[in-house]
Structure 1
Amino acid sequence: MNIQGEVAEGFEAVRDAFVRNFEVLGDRGAAVAVYRDGRKVVDLWAGTKDVEGGAGGAGGAGGEPWAAGTAQVVRSATKGVAAVVPLLLHQRGLLDLDAPVGAYWPEFKAGGKERALVRDLLAHRAGVPALDVPLTPAEAADGLAGARAVAEQQAFWEPGSAHGYHAQTYSWLLSELVLRVTGASIGQWLAQEVTGPRGLEFWIGLPEAETARVGRVGPVDPPQTAGGLRTRPRRNVSEAWADPSSLTRRAFAAITPLADENDPEFRAAELPASAGIGTARGLAGLYAALLGDTEDGTRLFTPETARLAGTELSSGPDRVLVVNTRFGPGYMLHSPASPLMSPASFGHPGRGGSLGFADPEAGIGFGYVTNAHAKSVTADPRAQSLVRAVQSAL
């Protein structure tokens, strides 16, 4: 296995774990980056840019190699990046988390959602994790149909009274809220205010100029040693997934048929629940910047906002994922179902493998991206192996 990049002294265990991901856990092409107190201590990549090129194992032979700037679709790890936008708007006094969503978006008051607060929307408590009529991929990406559909949708529960993972509908909920507050799309605002000025390699809505750097993703069968929240080993989740009428299945199928993640139109779509594209370095660098742990000393979040990001707003039985989960305002928090690094961590996994998070206590910004999408939903064994290696280095 030809591992590229570098690790700082003391973080060699992360490199060892990264090698094992290819040799034992089935990675095809991947990258991992870690910042500690503003200093980049891990920046590694290996395998092939396209998942098909690594089918021979250990990155495979043939196929274009993964390069320093290779980016990939990170699925729901996008949610953690997107959460930066509403929290910065709140920090600047432009968005009140305790205000009704309808104060910014009047049409959202329909269907029993008039009491839904902005914090409910961000913490998967808005009551609209699915749609009675799923959208087509074209409708999901057009910037209009999704917002109209979630505004008209009857709530599945009284907003604020319970939580359930808004796997796909989160895209249209958050996008429309940001549009109503700023007049800009969420991808535009993120690029102009956050990633662009800092040179962070992450996009919600891939610019045409960046298309050549993005590899092809695809499903892989995980080794039998794989762990995490999957549809197979937990009988209740498996049964819910197998039932087309279940909220679990309907939440993930709010776009039907599923969009082709390698399609240029999907990559260009501003879907902050699922279609973000970035490098591991961009993902880790963003989380480091939230804490102020950057080489130039600047920080995106004030200490108060950083604490808010890790504040629990939802916990307990998740009506969609059918396990106990914890959410802050836009972030998934550390739990047995979704381990991060410590109870102080906040971030978000992506179904299939990717992971990004910040740990304020340790000063860590972490990012892992892969083109080999396994069946894990929250705790992919490759990402968890790397997290444990970071912990051992500390």
Structure 2
Amino acid sequence: MAQDLVHGVADDRFAAAREAFAANFAEGREIGASVCATVGGETVIDLWGGWADAARTRPWRRDTIVNVFSTTKTMTALAALLLADRGDLDLAAPVARYWPEFAAGGKDRVTVAQLLSHSAGLPGWREPFSQDDAVDWDKATRLLAAQAPLWEPGTASGYHAYTHGFLIGEVIRRVTGRSPGTVFRQEIAEPLGADFWIGLPEGEDHRVAELVQPPGPAPEAGAVEMAEIPSIAFRDTRPDGSRAWRVDVAQTRTRAWRGAEIPSVNGHGNARSIARIHAVLANGGAAGGRRLLSEAGARRVLEPQIEGPDLVMRGIGVRFGLGFALAPCALLPVTPPSPNTVFWGGGGGSLAVIDLDARTSFAYAMNRMDRALMGEERSFRVLRAIWAALAA
């Protein structure tokens, strides 16, 4: 029965990966999902299945897209890497070179690379800032420019769950004069023919799958794994006076959310578009017959920036490169074929993994959210099957 819910193609070599994907439906782990993998720039798995809504009335189709939360960060980082490769952006330079107001609060030495590696000490907003405020670009960036870091920048990472995209995005905007979503669309998505959006046009709303909240109370501070950091009013005030930022998936169904550019968390796409875009990094800067970066520019993603217990993710040890985490890492409990592997994912279960030596890209996107900070056994089991096939 689950096999009937799965559509698309998988090379015979990756039959076990297709079976693993189908098992997610058979075991009741999924409502709707997509998975895609490329090897050497060629698509070897492109599967989708299930339903685009909780009521199971709309099939998940080939062109269904979904909000993938923090997998969006990988797209914003790629846009910054592209500008750096062209010489328009110096990742080692102070952010204030491009965004003068950012120097306030003792941040004059914070570098662009520290923004990319979640080590700038700006994991949230000190001033009250709600999920509704996340659609207000000027407010989000103005408050971040004014506040002081919560720790000495460059000494530790502390996952910048929502702020990351505004920080990198504002640098991109200052450098190019265009919004980060526009730069991403014009310079990356359109040249590659990739159906991924940061700022979704209203005409695409009919293709969006409905996210389904995890069972139980809504997770606080973005995910239950997130630690509280004193003095960050990163949260709404509740009626009892306490504070919590509840990520309400109902808001993701609004036009205001979908149409805004929130380059940390509101990207819309599917596994095919994510894997197609990251095939650029997997294949030395080129994919689909288009070269976007030099090979050296693509491999900059591997440059280590910070390593150690993350101050926000409850002390989980993470190695961050430029915009991606570096494997091996506790957040990716699957052993990659090569150490030159980068990844990141989104709250609820989406995932992007790129092995620059094996020249592979992998992506998973779904609408049934889990409480995991990123990735989850649904995607990991498919990824294991793919890597086992490559090693055979």
Q: TM-score, normalised by structure 2?
A: 0.88
- Alpha carbons 1:353, 1:369 under 8 Å: kept: yes
Distance in 2, matches of 1:178 and 1:147, equals 12
Q: Give 1:59's aligned residue.
A: none
- Alpha carbons 1:350, 1:378 under 8 Å: kept: yes
Distance in 1, matches of 2:236 and 2:157, equals 15
Whichever residue aligns with residue 366 of structure 1, its letter is: F
Query: What is the aligned counterpart of 1:188 among 182, 186, 199?
Result: 182
Residue 203 of structure 1: SS of its match in structure 2?
Answer: coil
Whichever residue aligns with residue 371 of structure 1, its letter is: N
| Residue identity (%) | 37
Distance in 1, matches of 2:170 and 2:59, equals 38
Q: Give 2:355's aligned residue.
A: 359
Residue 253 of structure 2: SS of its match in structure 1?
Answer: coil
What's the offset of the Cα at 1:140? 1.8
Distance in 2, matches of 1:4 and 1:179, equals 39
Residue 291 of structure 2: SS of its match in structure 1?
Answer: coil
Q: Give 1:320's aligned residue.
A: 312
5+ residue gaps, structure 1, are 54-61, 223-229, 232-236
Runs of 4+ aligned structure 1 residues displaced above 4 Å come to 243-247, 249-257, 293-296
Distance in 1, matches of 2:246 and 2:213, equals 16
Distance in 1, matches of 2:74 and 2:229, equals 28
- Alpha carbons 1:136, 1:257 under 8 Å: kept: no
Query: What is the aligned counterpart of 2:382 among 379, 386, 391?
Result: 386
5+ residue gaps, structure 2, are 217-222, 238-242
Residue 369 of structure 1: SS of its match in structure 2?
Answer: strand
Residue 285 of structure 1: SS of its match in structure 2?
Answer: helix
Distance in 2, matches of 1:388 and 1:140, equals 36
Q: TM-score, normalised by structure 1?
A: 0.88
Whichever residue aligns with residue 21 of structure 2, its letter is: F
Kindly indicate whether residue 98 of structure 2 is the aligned counterpart of residue 95 of structure 1.
Answer: no
Residue 160 of structure 2: SS of its match in structure 1?
Answer: coil
Residue 86 of structure 1: SS of its match in structure 2?
Answer: helix
Distance in 2, matches of 1:112 and 1:24, equals 52
Q: Give 2:240's aligned residue.
A: none
Q: Give 2:112's aligned residue.
A: 118
Q: Give 1:261's aligned residue.
A: 252
Distance in 1, matches of 2:47 and 2:188, equals 24
Q: Give 1:31's aligned residue.
A: 34
Whichever residue aligns with residue 353 of structure 1, its letter is: G
Distance in 1, matches of 2:101 and 2:260, equals 23
Kindly indicate whether residue 125 of structure 2 is the aligned counterpart of residue 131 of structure 1.
Answer: yes
1:246 and 1:14, CA in 2 relative to 1: closer, same or farther beyond 3 A? farther
Kindly indicate whether residue 343 of structure 2 is the aligned counterpart of residue 347 of structure 1.
Answer: yes
Query: What is the aligned counterpart of 2:325 among 318, 324, 332?
Result: 332
1:252 and 1:359, CA in 2 relative to 1: closer, same or farther beyond 3 A? farther
- What is the root-mean-square deviation in Å for CA atoms of aligned residues? 2.3
Q: Which moved more, 1:35-44 or 1:326-335?
A: 326-335
How big is each residue's C-alpha offset from its partner over 1:275-298, in whole Å with a ceiling of 9 and x where there is no partner?
Answer: 100011000000112334877443
Query: What is the aligned counterpart of 2:143 among 138, 146, 149?
Result: 149
Q: Would you say how many aligned residue pairs link Structure 1 and Structure 2?
A: 369
Q: Which moved more, 1:100-109 or 1:132-141?
A: 132-141
Distance in 1, matches of 2:287 and 2:12, equals 18
- Alpha carbons 2:72, 2:264 under 8 Å: kept: yes
Distance in 2, matches of 1:353 and 1:261, equals 16
Q: Give 2:154's aligned residue.
A: 160
What's the offset of the Cα at 1:347? 2.7
Q: Give 1:283's aligned residue.
A: 274
What's the offset of the Cα at 1:246? 7.9
What's the offset of the Cα at 1:134? 3.1
Whichever residue aligns with residue 200 of structure 1, its letter is: A
Whichever residue aligns with residue 383 of structure 2, its letter is: V
How big is each residue's C-alpha offset from its partner over 1:322-357, in whole Å with a ceiling of 9 and x where there is no partner?
Answer: 211111111122233222634211231111100112
What's the offset of the Cα at 1:139? 2.7
How big is each residue's C-alpha offset from its partner over 1:171-222, in whole Å with a ceiling of 9 and x where there is no partner?
Answer: 2111111111100000001111110122101001111221111111022349
- Alpha carbons 1:284, 1:367 under 8 Å: kept: yes
Distance in 1, matches of 2:371 and 2:204, equals 28
Kindly indicate whether residue 365 of structure 2 is the aligned counterpart of residue 369 of structure 1.
Answer: yes
Query: What is the aligned counterpart of 1:83 among 77, 83, 100?
Result: 77
Query: What is the aligned counterpart of 1:214 among 192, 208, 229?
Result: 208
Distance in 2, matches of 1:185 and 1:347, equals 25
Q: Give 1:302's aligned residue.
A: 294
Distance in 2, matches of 1:49 and 1:213, equals 9
Distance in 2, matches of 1:202 and 1:295, equals 16
